[in-house]
Structure formats: C-alpha cells, structure tokens
Chains A and B, each alone.
Chain A
Amino acid sequence: MNEKITFQQLAESLSALTGGSQNTTETFIKELFDIVSEALSNGETVRIKGIGKFAATGISDQPVLFMPDDDLADAINTPFACFEAVVLDDDISDELLIDSQSEEQEPQKSQESTDAASAINDTTDSDTQDANDKIPEEEDNSDDYTEDQQEILPEPELNEAQHIDEPEEEVTDYHDKDTECDTEQTATEESTEYDEEDDIYSEPDDGCGSKRRNTFLYILLVFIGCIAGYIIGSHYPYQTYIHTTQPMTTDTTSVSETDSVLQLPQNDTIKTDSAEIDSLPPTPQEKIIIDTIGTTRFLTTMSREYYGEMIFWVYIYEENKEKLGNPNRIRPGTTIVIPPAEKYSINKQDSASVELAKLKAMEIYAPYQK
C-alpha cells in the first residue's frame, strides 16, 4: 500500500509469475521500455496489450500521454467500481453541497473541545448555585404544603374506598395522617438530596475511601426510602380502617361513582361543604361501603373482612338481594353495598347473632334448592 516498487522488485515479481530467471525478466523489461522510448521519440504511438497506450504529445510539460488498458484501469478502480455518474437535479445548488461538506467537517474542529470544557465548568458552577437555591425552595414548598393541608381539606383522590357522610373529624384526622406521611417523605427526600450534594462537593477533596462511604450511604438511604415507602403504602389503608372503624374497599369503579358525592371542593367552596357536613348528624348507621364482587372476592370473603366471620355474608346478600339473585351464581364485577354491622346487629362474639345468620342462610338457599 502506497509503496514504490523498484525495478528489481518488479523483475522479481515477474520472474516469480512467469517462472523465468530474474536476469531474463530484467533484460526483458529494460528492452521493452527501450523500444517504447525509441518509438515515442520518433513520434509514434505505442500500444502494449494489457498495459495501455503511450503517445507522444509534443508538449514539454507533458510529453507522454498514457492511456491505460481497460482491464488494467478497471482493476485499479475496483474500490469505486460500484459508483456511477449521477445527473444532478436543478434543486441541488452548489451552496447546498458546500454546506453539507462543511457540516461533515465541523465535528473535527478542536474548538468544540474547549467549548465543552468551558461548558462543564459553567455547569458545575450553575449546579452548585442551583443546589444552594434548591434547598430553601423545597423547604418553602413543604411548609406551604403542610399549611395548606391544615387550612383546607384536600379533595380525596386515589383512595381505594370512599365513605359517604363521613364525619368531618375523621376526615381531618385522616388527612392529618396523610400530611404527616407526606412530610416524612419530603423529609427523607430532602435528606437524600443533601447527601447527594455532599457527594458532589466532597468528591474533589476526599479520596477513594470517602467516595465509597458516600456511595454506600446513598445506597443505604435509597434502600431505607424504598422500605419506608413500601411500609407506608402497604399499611396506610389499614391504619385508616382502624382509625375510622370502617372497612376499606378496593373497588375503583365505586370510587368514580361516589366521587361526585364525596368530592370536597377546594378553596372557596370549602366552607359551604363543611357546613353541610356539620349540619348532618354523624350517625354511624348511614355509613355505606360499596364493594365489587371479583373472581377471588366473594360475599363470604367480604363478610370475613368487614364483620370478622364468613357467615354474615347473608346480610350483605340481603342488602343487595335485587342485584344478586341466586347466591351461588353471582357474577364477578357486580357492585354491592356493604351494610353497616349495626344495621343487622352483627356481632361475631355473640353466638346468637351467628346462629341467626345461619338461619338466614338457610332461608336464602331455600328457594334455590329445588
């Protein structure tokens, strides 16, 4: 590649190819080009098969014109043999072609590296400033958030169960807990952010040991955060259940149905709603829970969940008799109302209540056992 082949090397190659001695090939090559030189000096055109045509031009700058043989020219141009001449459209201007060439060359410029270096410095500076600015902002936001939570009742959203006519005290407690949890979460988030900043600032000063320690600390905090999130997420509904002495439901469709009733508007309309809530007596008998039958969620499982015993399913059935029909053929997806335990004097501790429920079950099954 890009080597200059000498006369000896050419003779060696030719002798290796033809099988003759090197002296013979050297003599042959010398005599051949002597004849060509003499013919050119006489003004003749010489054509050698497989090599090409030599012609004397009479021009001092370019005295010989060489036209390689087609086979030779094609063999040498093999790398670009696949390309063909293309007629350019009138739409393609020279400027467009020059621009495309300059765009291809731009990435090679070294200026970008200096720009990038300065940009890195700028970003590090701005990052430090942003980090300093970010902390008080977030603290302010968290403060505002808690204040808002205390002053205004937030609209209940994403709750799995909805309670109709829930007393206001319970609602506020419920949301107080929510704010507590949220503030805890924000506190953990802030702490992780502080640690991240510590990582950033301590990196240039500290050695490898501190880097490892900070990384370990960061991973530990993330892990603790995940566990805390999981615990809060998994136990929060049950805490609410205990506090409000009401079971939670897991139906999402019922949420949408009851949203219109339960949704407490924010800000300006909050006073009127709270007044309405206050005006209603907080009678526990009016509490209604809505649930949905599922493929793995039956009346008995609901009864065990809400009343502590499976046998009390009969009262859920009684409450939704019109919808359910045959108790052994209840369709999944049916939305039902769970009556409060007080309505039917449900008490799992009381054996009389359990016996009554068994009798009720027999009554319910009687029409379908024909």
Chain B
Amino acid sequence: MDNKHIVAALAKRLGREPKDISALIEGLAATIKDRCGNMDSIAVPGFGTFEPIKEDEKITVDLSSGKRMLLPPQISLRFNPSIILRKKLNE
C-alpha cells in the first residue's frame, strides 16, 4: 500500500478531499520530524511509539573487501509497535 492508496482510503473514511488528507499527512510528517529531531518520542495509542535513539560509533568489517570501517555515531528513528498491534499481527 503506497501513499496514494492511503490518501484515498482516508479521504473516503473521513469524507474529505484527498488534497486535505495529503496536507495533513505532510503536516504529521513535519511534526514527527520536529519532535523527534529534539530527541522526543511520540506515542500513538494502539499503534506504537516513534523513538529517536543515539547509537555510538562502531567498527564494522566489510565482508567483501575485509577492510574495517569506523562508522560514526548517529541518531536513528525506531518504531516500537504497541502491544495491541503486536497481538493483532501475531494472530
């Protein structure tokens, strides 16, 4: 399911124009970007939590060349599914 399908399904459910839904999705993405950029985590009940996590620098070995690489530290956005979602997916 890509973005177009989601917009269409939401427009149908909410009875609104797809443009409005696209604008809301863009706004939601901007909000997540802003909040998670400040290292805040966002909890959506029944779905899960978006959480930025800082990873330290690490050394990995490139299997093809055998050379070691020093990877810099980074902040990545992780998603932890809620218990309800986990149960729904494991059924």
A interface with B by C-beta (< 8 Å): 1-7, 10, 13-14, 17-18, 20, 25, 27-37, 39-41, 44-52, 54, 56, 60, 63-64, 66, 68-69, 71-73, 75-80, 83-88, 94, 97
Contact = CB atoms under 8 A, between A and B. Distances in A.
Interface residues of B, number: 59
Contact of B6 (A1, A48, A87): A48
B89 A41 contact: yes
Interface in B31-77: 31-49, 52, 59, 67-77
Nearest to B28: A14
Nearest to A74: B33
Given A76-B77, A77-B75, A48 B33 contact: no
Contact of A78 (B31, B37, B67): B37
A16 B49 CA distance: 21
Interface of B: 1-3, 6, 9-10, 13-14, 21-49, 52, 59, 67-79, 81, 85-86, 88-91
B79 A66 contact: yes
Contacts of A2: 39-41
Given A20-B24, A71-B33, A6 B43 contact: yes
Nearest to B23: A18
A49 B25 contact: yes
13 contacts: A10-B42, A13-B34, A28-B14, A29-B44, A41-B88, A49-B3, A50-B33, A51-B25, A60-B90, A63-B89, A72-B32, A77-B76, A84-B72
Contacts of B90: 60, 63
Contact of A5 (B1, B25, B42, B68): B42
B87 to A, nearest CB: 9
Contacts of B3: 47-49
A41 B1 CA distance: 12
Given A63-B81, A86-B69, A32 B25 contact: yes
A88 B85 CA distance: 42
B22 to A, nearest CB: 8
